[in-house]
Amino acid sequence: MTRTVLLALDTSTEFCSVALLLADSAFAATPNSAAPQYVNGDTRVWFRHEATGAVSSTRLLPAVRELFADAGLALADCAAIAFGAGPGSFTGLRTATGVAQGLAFGLNVPVVPVSTLLACAEHARLNDPSIPARVLAALDARMDEAYWADFEFDAAAGDWRTLHPAALDAPGALPLPDVPFALAGNAASAFGDRLPALAAAARVDREALPHALPVALIGLRDWRAGRAVAPEHAAPEYVRDKVAQTTAERMQAREEALR
């Protein structure tokens, strides 16, 4: 009997998102639960996705405990901890990374960093399995910029290929795939017509956002493929290296704008 338990965390947005995945070839009966569930074959995922704003750090561990109670499982059952590594809110990324790292150290298990943009692409496929294999994921990065990445789903392998890794650009600068593609993420709503990909996309999923459910499903595939890492190697993927200008830089920018 093959049985795998994986915990997934994401706090890259204003949501505190936690998922607990059980992959069990015997699929033993589990207790009834009020928590939402996703079931596909021998895989069951319990999840909580709550709008917590800036206090996700205080809600994360209680939500984890609640899910284990819902599933009738124990933290010690975990084979790995997956987490949304970014890009996203800097504070949120540090929260998810730190909690995943701490739990993994305590359990002596590996961690699986998952791109939040890839989680958007996975979420779009969960919402509509008939979308094009090519998915451009784009999230509002604030400061009039978008985080984006280009992915393609390989149906034969049952996994994603990254055609362009996470990047940061003005909404009008996102390159458009030369084949039919889906646009996933909230950049479509944030920028509207200023995002050329919105008009060019064959499908648009504005609701496909970072969520612990797709993080868990990607995490399981990555763990099985040997792409997990030791806890000490867990790190956020910020993409934007700098979010604040110094006083001198602000003054220089103002002077240049006035010329």
Give the rounded percent of residues in the chain with a pLDDT score beyond 70: 90
| Rg from Cα positions in the chain | 19
Asked whether residue 104 falls in the same domain as residue 144, the answer is no
Asked whether residue 130 falls in the same domain as residue 180, the answer is yes
Residue 182 maps to a domain: yes
Closest listed residue to residue 63, CA positions, set 86, 80, 46: 46
pTM of the model: 0.90
Count of domains for the chain: 2
Closest listed residue to residue 136, CA positions, set 122, 151, 123: 151
Residue 39 maps to a domain: yes
Predicted confidence (pLDDT) at residue 246 exceeds the cutoff of 80:
no
Task: Note the pLDDT of residue 253.
Answer: 42
Asked whether residue 59 falls in the same domain as residue 41, the answer is yes
> What would the pLDDT profile of 194-230 be if each residue is shown by its tens digit?
999 999 999 999 999 999 999 999 999 999 999 999 9
Asked whether residue 7 falls in the same domain as residue 109, the answer is yes
Closest listed residue to residue 85, CA positions, set 115, 61, 57, 109: 115
Task: Note the pLDDT of residue 252.
Answer: 52
Q: What is the DSSP string of 76-99?
A: GG-SEEEEEEESS-HHHHHHHHHH
Domain that holds residue 158: 117-205
Asked whether residue 9 falls in the same domain as residue 82, the answer is yes
Mean predicted confidence (pLDDT) in 229-252: 72
The two three-digit tokens of residue 51, written as one number = 């709008």
What contacts 26, CB < 8 A, 6 or more positions away?
Answer: 1, 3
